[in-house]
Amino acid sequence: MSNYEAKQVLVIRKDIKMPQGKVGAQLAHASTGALLSLVKFKERKNRNTWTISAPKDGAVTAWLEGRFAKICVYVKSEEEIIELYEKARAAGLPTALIKDAGFTVFNGVPTITAVGIGPGFVEEIDKITGHLPLL
């Protein structure tokens, strides 16, 4: 993958027990949430609209018009996942920190499970997630 290509990195916590279906759902939430972090609501005279706000020549456009590359990696603690989220936000990347409501798996306890980072250019995202092991 070239450094000028865009990708999204999805990070899951491995220190908590989740069935495979739950892992898949949490990673899907992270992917969608990161992209939706770019959506802006605009009120107009006769209609309301939602738009994605991203530079035409940027990573989001390259990703949307390209292969939708996604890389799944993991961390071993809540602290690690929060640190990644904060670094990605500070770098200006689209991000979403996923907190499961706990209705089905975590005995009613809301639990941070995943983070979505990007789309962003490979070089930008790898500075934050390049050291993480593949899921």
Q: What pLDDT does 33 receive? A: 96
Can you give the pTM of this predicted structure? 0.91
Q: What pLDDT does 17 receive? A: 92
Whether residue 20 lies inside any domain: the answer is yes
Q: Residues near 93 by Cβ (< 8 Å), separated by ≥ 6?
A: 117, 118, 120, 124, 125, 128
CA distance 16 to 2: 34
Q: What pLDDT does 2 receive? A: 56
Residues in the chain, pLDDT under 70: 1-3
Whether residue 97 lies inside any domain: the answer is yes
CA distance 11 to 30: 8
Whether residue 19 lies inside any domain: the answer is yes
Q: What pLDDT does 3 receive? A: 55
Whether residue 135 lies inside any domain: the answer is no
CA distance 85 to 115: 7
Domain count, the chain: 1
CATH number for position 59: 3.40.1490.10
Q: What pLDDT does 111 receive? A: 98
Boundaries of domain holding 97: 6-129
